[in-house]
Chain A
């Protein structure tokens, strides 16, 4: 009786109820297609037969499968050298970013709250500047220091974009490490450095791992500094751009597939760190 009185007036007035039921499955399928279909196209074009002419795009569904384009891109030297360069730069950038940002983030996390937030916000404000506003002057400096076309130059440039961001993440991580543990370690006679290395960092390892991944992905995807600082050996993102510029659809799709694959794998295995709930605290805080 009571349910009837609740649902009764609603079904009468709610014109959306019935159409929503019908549309809902389409709504979900549409959402999935919207996100996934464009990615499918990249892999399709890199594996499907067709001519190398720009604009000769293969049929929408796999009718035939070929490794021709992969073979051609690998043999033409369009894939392996940029892949090695991107891997090297991203890995060294990640290592350096942690070495530079983690100790500093620990100290910032132990400051009194008002000072802590001022510093963190200060760091994040640097991210509001257009990359060009920093990049132009950095590229000009690096040219003067002989850092154009060097691994070091590109790594230093990638650190600019990542340090403030991961320092921010790591401050959050270190805040959760109880200070009592450090005090206990020091009572037991550990030096401050030993406390940091043997007690604090191991507890924060999860946060440091997530921060490392962000850095690695940033460097792996980075385009602007690479374009400003590289004239000889491309990184993978630059290689995709070069393929677009030269109008070779299959090379573009193949290199793009190589660029995308590690990211899909990494995210798939790290989903649990990306739950919506994890963001709620950050947004409300």
Chain B
């Protein structure tokens, strides 16, 4: 009994205990969040690392990775993920910037137009997938539109264009991946517009005037003044989007489905029944994480750094 009392009393005098007592209010406030993040984020991540090096019979090693890289589906999924991510990024930055440039010019009704382009900012990913299915499926609106164009063209004498509908989502190859990238682009377009408008508004009016006084053409003004000043905003957009573009799941599940796997759908298929293979799924998600990290490091090291020096 005496020893127990002692063990209780001794730490009460130690600096740690004094610190705990002094900050007990703060500690009580952060405790729920810290516990949550440790138990349901940090521990699972460590667990996934461990699982990825564990085989079904409990042995440790690289066998999951070796088996995975030996599989044709996995290798296709890796390449497809890269293609989709790059296509999405290029589309998102390109289209986002194009729209933002138009909305940065003062014109009547601009407030209304900005509202319209902003309101779909939280559209669910799965809805984006559903919408693109309505457009790109064999019976979708793109084919009706093309058929209409073909009919019109065929009215001209001497031209006979028989239109055959294309099922982009089941055709396979880059065309199917493009539908996934377009869906991703459409989903995040409002966010991109918002980021680039913020960037454009951060450029002082005097710089435009100075460029005009120096006789710069519109293109020169955009290329030499506007674009360099937008680099930090483009970097933010690229990093924000790259993480999500590599992790793409729902859109690929809905649009490229069974014809073109990406890493997200590969991991999902492997993990869910009937395969229920958590070891390979874990290894797959570690590879995905590595791809995201490599991309961000390369981007910051080569593209963003170079842009900053130039500007």
Contact = CB atoms under 8 A, between A and B. Distances in A.
Interface of A: 6, 9-10, 13-17, 20, 24, 27-28, 31-32, 34-36, 38-39, 41-42, 45, 54-57, 60, 99-101, 103-108, 110, 123, 126-141, 156, 159-160, 163-164, 167, 192-193, 196, 217, 220-221, 223-224, 227-228, 237, 240-241, 244, 249, 252-253, 256, 259-260, 263-264, 266-268, 271, 274, 276-280, 283-284
B194 A279 contact: yes
Contacts of B292: 128, 130
A33 B233 CA distance: 25
B194 A101 contact: no
A57 B36 CA distance: 47
A198 B71 CA distance: 60
A261 to B, nearest CB: 10
Nearest to A231: B273
A34 B123 contact: no
- Identify the 9 closest CB pairs spanning chains A and B, nearest first: A55-B139, A104-B33, A103-B29, A276-B197, A137-B44, A137-B47, A276-B198, A221-B124, A133-B285
A240 to B, nearest CB: 5
Given A132-B285, A167-B33, 19 more contacts: A14-B219, A28-B107, A31-B117, A32-B116, A41-B135, A100-B33, A104-B30, A126-B37, A129-B289, A130-B264, A132-B249, A134-B44, A224-B249, A224-B250, A240-B130, A260-B124, A260-B127, A271-B118, A276-B201
B117 A35 contact: yes
Interface residues of B, number: 96
Contacts of A241: 126, 250, 253-254
B82 interface: no
B33 A163 contact: yes
A252 to B, nearest CB: 5
Given A32-B117, A35-B120, A57 B29 contact: no
Given A100-B32, A271-B115, A217 B122 contact: yes
A34 B99 contact: yes
Given A32-B113, A35-B190, A256 B285 contact: no
B120 A36 contact: yes
A6 B288 contact: no
Given A108-B30, A264-B119, A60 B141 contact: yes
A133 B288 CA distance: 9
Contact of B45 (A129, A267, A276, A279): A129
B132 interface: yes
B125 A268 contact: no
A124 B123 CA distance: 23
A256 B134 CA distance: 12
Nearest to B291: A130
29 contacts: A13-B217, A17-B218, A28-B102, A35-B117, A35-B186, A38-B128, A41-B141, A42-B130, A45-B134, A126-B45, A130-B246, A133-B45, A136-B44, A136-B51, A136-B271, A136-B285, A137-B51, A137-B282, A160-B40, A164-B37, A192-B25, A224-B249, A237-B124, A241-B250, A244-B129, A256-B130, A268-B115, A271-B118, A283-B199
B281 A136 contact: yes
Contacts of B122: 217, 221, 263, 266-267
A6 B213 contact: yes
Interface in B122-150: 122-135, 137-141, 144
A228 B271 contact: yes
